Structure 1
Amino acid sequence: MTASPRRTPVYRRPTPDDLPLAGAGLDSAAVRARLADADARTLLMSLTMLTRDAGHLERFAAVCDPANAETGAEAEADEIRDLLSVVLTDPAFVPDPAPMTVGLFQQMATAYVREPVDAEFVPLLLEQCGFDRLPGAPELPTPEKPQPPDGFHVAVIGAGLSGICAGIKLAEAGYSYRIYDRNKDVGGTWLTNVYPGVGVDTPSHFYSYSFEITSDWPEFYSKGAYVLDYLRRCADGHGLRDHTSFETEVLSCAYDEASTRWRITTRGPDGREATEWADAVVTAMGFFQGSVRPDIPGLADFAGPALHTADWDPDVDLSGKRVAMIGTGASAMQAGPAIVDEVAELAVFQRTPSWVMPRRKEDLTVPDGALWAMRHVPYYGEWFRFFTYWFASDGNFVRVVIDPDWTTPGSVSEPSEKMRQWLLDYAQEELADRPDLLARVIPAYPPFGKRILRDSNWYRMLRRDHVDLVTSPIERVVPGGVVTADGKETAADVLILATGYKVLPMLDGIEITGRSGVALTDVWGVDDPRAHLGLTVPGFPNLFVLGGPNSAPNHGAGVNITAETQVHYVLQCLALLHTHGARAIEPRQDVHDAYNDQVEKALEQRVWSHPSVRSYYQNSKGRVVVSNPWRLVDYWTMLRSPDPADHILG
């Protein structure tokens, strides 16, 4: 079998080979005008990378200084734009073809974010910000990937973000593979979630694959339809549909020790069951596995539509209706502001308030100049992606680590308290004229204890005259509304259940049996899953669980990094298998147990284990089973290459 060559990327990015820019409207003056709305800090990085002149970093340091956020260091920013417009259009300019040194890259990164960017981050940044595939960037060592044996076939369960990533990378490595998805199309949660206002609360320019970075996001936090379009284009551009069985549910996966293969039972769109075989199984079902409908007495008796945000019916007309929304989590915080102008009344039933991240700016539309720069200026999109990663991901990690000597209520450390005060100041500013609301929206738990949410005009929605925030517990639902414990009945024509998603049991709905017929449910129980590195389980050879136990980066953005990192590890495990001429690989039990002991000890010092916190990150006994206790860079480094001594190869 010949390995499949890398396809041309779906989303082409500008490189130094595209210079000089030429054509109608692309002289230096026109380019200078287009750069007016682009971010000066990021333009500085492009200029430095193209010219290899580190002197620019000191000369124009003011544009990166947060102290100049209001003024923008206009004189320096204008000079950067002047210089770069000439570089981009000058036919005599020739970019240095040699790879940039790691030292200069690190110096640039440190200047960009105005804080040390240690060497340990450099390999991750080069890969995850997309530099590794562009000329001029420092080169990364490429791991050896031996040719898969003829006929070695991989089954992937799920065609969402992780499953698409797995399919693309398996194809690149030369594997035969098939993806199974119960839906009619790719996209996973972005296909099935269509409630009003649905979108990312991770910065858009980071919510994409590092090998398919796009400049086409219309907003800094884009709506779900754009994310779905992105995933569809990636799937189509890499030919995944030809390898995907849609409307097909995987019922069971059973390991056959005699053949060292997995017997997979599926049910297709016609309702018929079929048996297929695979040498390895990759589950890519995501953390959320369907909606959770609350156990509220009388819910089934409600006379009007009762819509869960995860099962939204777009044909239900909310115009002029009295709406009762149960829940104040992520989907509620997006759906509520999206429908508030449409409904006659909106009653929001809150059990626990959420911490709300401030709006960075009123208009979250990406300026035309920034869009143009991402499409035409080499390295601009990659550096902008780095900036969003740095401050939306591992930059938050210090805020989730518990200081055992900290005693201030409501926080777990000095950085945690600073974060709490920042969030509190924002709430007080937004609700200055509504102290009655302010008292009800401030959580009692520390920031990041539960999922921290981005403000989509939530506070402003709560201030509206036709909106009521109800904090009295729900006692029951009646045909015409909701009755709370204080005896008050709130009339409603429509119920919106913004009550979250099933997380446990993991891999729910699939019967998985490993060696000696042992069921995974017997190992994990209903809600106590554990895995080596969040991916593999002793006794289940060649089974890889993407988004498995304790692998979620709950301190910040990073599900896309997690997906790529775990898929990389899967391919490295398979490479190890082939190198040793083996057919099966699984972690040793003692290695698995030791790793999970480390996870438990680390989680004791993370905010998700704080006594004031109760969340879907935890199981019924309070053990944190979702969150990864490490920084993204730590987890990324752990998964670079499997240690043969940690595994059983057979």
Structure 2
Amino acid sequence: MNDFRVSVYHRPSAEDLPLAGAGFERATVRAHLDEADPRTLLMVLTHLTRDDSHLERFAAVCDPANAESGAEREAAEIRDLLADVLTSGVPRDASPLSEAFFRRTASVYVNEPVDEEFVPLLLDQCGFAKLEGTAAAPEPRPGADGFHVAVIGAGLSGICAGIKLGEAGYSYKIYDRNKDVGGTWLTNVYPGVGVDTPSHFYSYSFEVNPDWPEFYSKGEYVLDYLRSCADGYGVRDHVVFETEVVSCSYDDASKRWAVTSRGPDGVESVEWANAVVSAIGVFQGAVRPDIPGLDDFTGTVVHTADWDPSIDLAGKRVAIVGTGASAMQVGPAIVDDVAALTVFQRTPSWVMPRRKDDLTVPAGARWAMRHVPYYGEWFRFFTYWFASDGNFVRVVVDPDWHMPDVSVSKESEAMRQWLLAYAREELADRPDLLTKAIPDYPPFGKRILRDSNWYRMLKRDHVDLITDRITHVTPGAVVTKDGLETPADVLILATGYQVLPMMSQIAITGRDGTALADVWGHDDPRAHLGTTVPGFPNLFVLAGPNSAPNHGAGVNILAESQIHYVIACLDLLREQGAHALEPRQDVHDAYNEQVDKALEGRVWSHPSVRSYYRNSSGRVVVSCPWRLVDYWRMLRTPDPAEYIIG
């Protein structure tokens, strides 16, 4: 069995109480709780005491109408009662929560009903299901010995795959072309890089991190988290760095994969694996725009994906090409340093309102994350709930909707009006910018971006937003269709990443020498459940075709769900004494017909939307048409009837 720790981050439980020793006196504990979220403290109080009368008594703290004020007395009383529970002999219940109790408590927390169908997912993804009674070390599956898995990529998904394969007792090796673990969080180092999914959810459900410094943390902290998880579970010992997988070829006779990799010395070697897991993700390298004259520019040209930290922008005239996620982070991060900043926009993005100016996690809240049982798990639930399936209704097309050009339903229009109101508020004194900044497609048609002072940046005196098309670049300027020349010392290309063809950097051949590139073509990838492909036994694609949760949540829930399914498939092989598994062609085709039909009724197929979600024929190839809870449930257990097993 692989050597790994059960937990990297301490997760306090009822068994850790009462808090005692220096720094845990009641008065000190009570003072810390002043900076913790009262709604979450109410959940903890109810959880520890199993006294749901607290829910009715203090429900006011969970009412959004009282978010800023109006429930101070209730909040103070919650903190008083919880300080007693944490530091004294007040009875506490350490048994697992029942689903009914969790549902009732959670519904008060979010001030709306939590339907029964969501409860198993929430218990799993918010860390409750595995919290109490965790064994010292999981036992490996009998019969897993000798079954070797090759994992390609050591980012968030690859690390998770390694952890779970190790727990299951499977031998594995991870190949990564970089010098360290972390994937996109290792390679993306442009100014302002960070998460736009709440930090307290953007992590593994089995490793709830109490130490996020911000509610939306910068990339360096995400990288530190992933490194800690890789080290804590011994994953790093299974990674070969600076090694790129060149090809994977399935051998029908031995029912194994020949994995050819190229090391840092350029030498290629071949190793054998019983299964291959691709964890390289959707984004496969920077897209460099085809702008005439770009190569002749005499200043500095840098893509956000290939950022050089040594670049000095102080006092420089900087031009940013693009207004997507990376542009919206890098622009506000550099605006104070540059002499002039010009943003060249092709298509505006919808911008999610800033919740508050200061997104630092208060010291008392971080203390609660580290020391108060279940605080971290409950807060994780809260951040997930409002960034997940509640948004799904806003991406579903109402065929009878009377404003189909700008929105797709009543709920979609309400979202559009909310985003419009925010833009109008932020740009009230700049109507010229407002007309440029409002998209002409419905919300969620493309990724909605979190505001990191984007609108405020655009209003700065030394910032310009240009929407005319770039025609060419001269040695010292960017020229647009109207003939305007914008002098620049530095060009920042925030022009996104290559998505299609998927997995194009690896030559993958399955049964009978069939190439995956031929099956998928240039830009029409398909898979059963977004994970397995007919003719390619024991090949599993993480973040594969039509699996991205583009209406909410993050890649972390996708990774955990798909890896759970991968291991369940490997276990199915073991149970049947078989060696290879692949989806039946008819099952695969029927599933993809359902996907295509469902996507016709989703906002991503709206005629006004042009995005990386779609291929050259307009088919949506990235987005999953189902709710997160639906897709999570689909990936719980493989159906043997859907597979060829031998």
The answer to whether the superposition gives a TM-score over 0.5 is yes
How far the C-alpha of 1:134 sits from its partner, in A, is 2.0
The within-5 A match list for 1:285-434 is 285-408=280-403, 409-434=405-430
AA of the residue aligned to 1:153: H
Kept in 1, the 8 Å contact 2:4–2:234? The answer is no
Q: Alpha-carbon deviations, 1:300-356, whole Å to 9, x = none?
A: 110011000000011111110001110000000000000000000001000000000
AA of the residue aligned to 1:82: D
Partner of 1:177: 172
How far the C-alpha of 1:4 sits from its partner, in A, is 4.7
AA of the residue aligned to 2:53: G
Q: Any unmatched runs of 5+ in structure 2?
A: none
Partner of 2:546: 550
What is the distance in 1 between the residues matched to 2:248 and 2:519? 15
**For 1:204, what is the secondary structure of its paired residue?**
coil
- Choose from 84, 89, 100 the match for 1:103: 100
The within-5 A match list for 1:244-259 is 244-259=239-254
What is the distance in 1 between the residues matched to 2:578 and 2:256? 12
What is the distance in 2 between the residues matched to 1:610 and 1:584? 40
The within-5 A match list for 1:110-125 is 110-125=107-122
**For 2:478, what is the secondary structure of its paired residue?**
strand
What is the distance in 2 between the residues matched to 1:383 and 1:308? 39
Kept in 2, the 8 Å contact 1:96–1:136? The answer is no
AA of the residue aligned to 1:89: T
How far the C-alpha of 1:516 sits from its partner, in A, is 0.5
Kept in 2, the 8 Å contact 1:186–1:232? The answer is yes
2:561 matches 1:527: no
Kept in 2, the 8 Å contact 1:202–1:221? The answer is yes
Partner of 2:184: 189
Q: Comparing 400-409 with 505-514, which one deviates more in the overlay?
A: 400-409
Partner of 1:55: 53
Q: Alpha-carbon deviations, 1:572-595, whole Å to 9, x = none?
A: 000011111100000000000011
How far the C-alpha of 1:150 sits from its partner, in A, is 3.0
Q: TM-score, normalised by structure 2?
A: 0.98
Q: TM-score, normalised by structure 1?
A: 0.97
What is the distance in 1 between the residues matched to 2:140 and 2:466? 57
User: 1:89–1:149: structure 2 CA closer, same or farther, 3 Å change rule?
Assistant: closer
AA of the residue aligned to 1:7: R
Partner of 2:31: 33
**For 1:211, what is the secondary structure of its paired residue?**
coil
Q: Comparing 314-323 with 18-27, which one deviates more in the overlay?
A: 18-27
Kept in 2, the 8 Å contact 1:558–1:632? The answer is no
AA of the residue aligned to 1:45: M
Kept in 2, the 8 Å contact 1:533–1:595? The answer is yes
AA of the residue aligned to 1:521: A
The within-5 A match list for 1:249-648 is 249-408=244-403, 409-648=405-644
What is the distance in 1 between the residues matched to 2:524 and 2:36? 48
What is the distance in 1 between the residues matched to 2:410 and 2:426? 24
Partner of 2:69: 71
Kept in 1, the 8 Å contact 2:149–2:173? The answer is yes
How far the C-alpha of 1:100 sits from its partner, in A, is 2.5
What is the distance in 1 between the residues matched to 2:339 and 2:518? 50
- Choose from 74, 85, 89 the match for 2:83: 85
What is the distance in 2 between the residues matched to 1:11 and 1:54? 29
Partner of 1:210: 205
How far the C-alpha of 1:433 sits from its partner, in A, is 0.5
How far the C-alpha of 1:70 sits from its partner, in A, is 2.4
How far the C-alpha of 1:613 sits from its partner, in A, is 0.6
Q: Alpha-carbon deviations, 1:98-119, whole Å to 9, x = none?
A: 3322111110011111111111
Give the fraction of aligned pairs with identical amino acids, expressed as a percent: 75
Kept in 1, the 8 Å contact 2:285–2:497? The answer is yes
What is the distance in 2 between the residues matched to 1:491 and 1:193? 27
How far the C-alpha of 1:136 sits from its partner, in A, is 8.4
How far the C-alpha of 1:394 sits from its partner, in A, is 1.1
How far the C-alpha of 1:151 sits from its partner, in A, is 1.5
User: 1:369–1:295: structure 2 CA closer, same or farther, 3 Å change rule?
Assistant: same
What is the distance in 2 between the residues matched to 1:219 and 1:381? 14
Partner of 2:125: 128
AA of the residue aligned to 1:224: G
Q: Alpha-carbon deviations, 1:579-619, whole Å to 9, x = none?
A: 11100000000000011011111101110001111100000
What is the distance in 1 between the residues matched to 2:520 and 2:642? 21
Q: Alpha-carbon deviations, 1:543-562, whole Å to 9, x = none?
A: 00001000000001221000
**For 2:544, what is the secondary structure of its paired residue?**
coil
**For 1:37, what is the secondary structure of its paired residue?**
coil
How far the C-alpha of 1:147 sits from its partner, in A, is 2.2
Kept in 2, the 8 Å contact 1:541–1:584? The answer is yes
Q: Any unmatched runs of 5+ in structure 1?
A: none
How far the C-alpha of 1:398 sits from its partner, in A, is 0.9
How far the C-alpha of 1:508 sits from its partner, in A, is 1.6
Q: Comparing 617-626 with 403-412, which one deviates more in the overlay?
A: 403-412
Kept in 1, the 8 Å contact 2:153–2:183? The answer is yes
What is the distance in 2 between the residues matched to 1:144 and 1:561? 24
User: 1:209–1:403: structure 2 CA closer, same or farther, 3 Å change rule?
Assistant: same
The within-5 A match list for 1:7-26 is 7-26=5-24
Kept in 2, the 8 Å contact 1:292–1:500? The answer is yes
What is the distance in 1 between the residues matched to 2:446 and 2:30? 45
Kept in 1, the 8 Å contact 2:149–2:171? The answer is yes
Kept in 2, the 8 Å contact 1:155–1:177? The answer is yes
Partner of 2:225: 230
AA of the residue aligned to 1:203: P
**For 2:215, what is the secondary structure of its paired residue?**
coil
AA of the residue aligned to 1:114: N
**For 2:318, what is the secondary structure of its paired residue?**
strand
What is the distance in 2 between the residues matched to 1:406 and 1:145? 54
Q: Alpha-carbon deviations, 1:405-462, whole Å to 9, x = none?
A: 1122311111111111111010111111000000000000000100100000000000
What is the distance in 1 between the residues matched to 2:387 and 2:295? 41
**For 2:34, what is the secondary structure of its paired residue?**
helix
How far the C-alpha of 1:259 sits from its partner, in A, is 0.3
Kept in 1, the 8 Å contact 2:288–2:493? The answer is yes
What is the distance in 1 between the residues matched to 2:227 and 2:378? 25
**For 2:373, what is the secondary structure of its paired residue?**
coil
Partner of 1:157: 152
Kept in 2, the 8 Å contact 1:145–1:575? The answer is no
Moved over 6 A (4+): none
What is the distance in 2 between the residues matched to 1:153 and 1:419? 48
**For 1:214, what is the secondary structure of its paired residue?**
coil
**For 1:415, what is the secondary structure of its paired residue?**
helix
